[in-house]
Amino acid sequence: MTEPDPPGKGADEALWGGRFDGAPAQEAVALSRSLSLDVRLAPQDVESSVAHVRALEDAGLLDADEAAALEKTLREVGEEIAAGRFAFHLADEDVHSAIERAVTERLGDVGAKLHAGRSRNDLVVTDLRLWLLAAARRIDGGIERLTRALIASGREHADAVMPGTTHGRAAQTVTLGHHLLAHAWALLRDLDRLDQWAARASVSALGAGALATSTLDLDPEATAGRLGLDRAFPNSIDAVSDRDFVQEFVADATILGTHLSRLAADVLRWTDESLGWVSMDEAYATGSSMMPQKRNPDVAELARAKAGRLAGHFVALTSVLSGLPLGYHRDLQEDKGPAFDAADTLEATLGALAGCVETLRFDVAAMRRAAEVEALYATDLAEELVRAGVPFRRAHRQVGELLKRLDAEGRSLRGLGDEEWRDLGLPEGEAILDPDRSVRARSMPGGPSPASVLDQVQAIEATLASRSTGVRKS
């Protein structure tokens, strides 16, 4: 991209300048100009413009030669922008006006026909829909990669016992595979959200014009089809006003970012030297500028932090949209910053976190040792009493009182003799303290037993395999 012309040059070339006697103040130009941000929409703007050209041709407003010349020139301009050879002017408020200006300069009156029956209002919203749908397909691929990394490790560690926690404290025995798949199930919901979002977002606004469509004989449904979108707008005012699809994309991004942050938090806890459960590949760690011994888990820390950035975008965008009357307002120019950064943030985070998870090395022996803490089996003991006919609340109190007494005596459950177990009504009590027995006993669907984990792996793989529709097919 070349630098814009100096102030003054090309100021009378603005698309809307006919009603005005003079050029806008330079301060107003600086505030209004969005080109540095929305230049990313250039490929989508070219495609939207080509589809509009064909609509004008169908309506008899362009002949075949004019339509061909416009399409050829539009694609040439798009290629120049992509290659960084395009010369932007100061009067180019945005990428849409820059492309139209260039086409008009090259084709004269034929180029001046391009904007008939359309407005930047319906053009920009269509471009942004196309851009976000393409970004969502890339994000979709990143989610699938991370999900597959989790289920591969979940299958490998289906029987690796570890402590499960509530309130950040050891609570009951689970398996590593079960814990990893908990994150995978959350990511499946993210994929489903993106699929549903894409179905709602696949709408063309072209033909809505500035507000009230056009008196020209255009066919919005045909234009939508040319763009690969599912349908045309149902109401022209809604078409140019609607930013639900941006807000929903950023909301879905925020939820996904939260899931990535929670996964990163688990990785960070497990890699803490005080636990020593997981080693992170050095490709996903960094060193310290002062302390030679450090291998810092920066990828996981950054992934943990990105959720806040994404949530901030949702709040910012919602604040812009809240209270806006229907119709287009320049406030809506502020929709692209949150949307673009949300997509960029997710793509970068998903790629780095997937690579990190794919290369984690788990110390299952250390996890198993941590799972031998006797308090983890208190619920198992209470449920064994329930199986023998004791009401649960009484069984709960009985086990709690036993643990309190043993603490006071400086003893442990494993130190109880056979007769003491029998007196408690738990003749097989010591066997209940076995980690493998504990997780195998939790064999109901969705539980942490090795068999259940493998069933979950198969279910997640089947869901991924069945995704023949959705965001990547939009």
Which residue numbers are catalytic?
167, 288
Q: Tokens 């040439």 — which residue?
A: 76
Q: Tokens 């699929």 — which residue?
A: 195
Helix residue spans in 84-209 (DSSP H): 95-107, 109-112, 120-156, 176-201
DSSP secondary structure, 414-470, as one string: GG--HHHHHHTT-TTHHHHT-HHHHHHH--STTSSSHHHHHHHHHHHHHHHHT--SS
Q: CB-based contacts of 345: which residues, under 8 Å, 6+ apart?
A: 253, 257, 306, 309, 310
Beta strands in 289-423 (DSSP E): 361-362
Element (H, E) at 270: helix 244-271
Cα separation, 161 vs 434, whole angstroms: 10
Phi-psi region of 63 (alpha: psi -120 to 50; beta: other; left: phi over 0): beta
Element (H, E) at 262: helix 244-271
- The span from the first CA to the last CA of the chain, in angstroms, equals 31
Per the document, the length of the chain is 474
Mode of pairing for the β-strands spanning 231-232 and 203-204? parallel
* C-beta of residue 424 within 8 angstroms of C-beta of residue 384: no
Quick one: which of 367, 129, 329, 391 has its CA closest to 245? Answer: 129
CA 239 → CA 192, 211, 243, 456, distances in Å?
Answer: 25, 8, 9, 42
Neighbours of 302 (CB within 10 A): 16
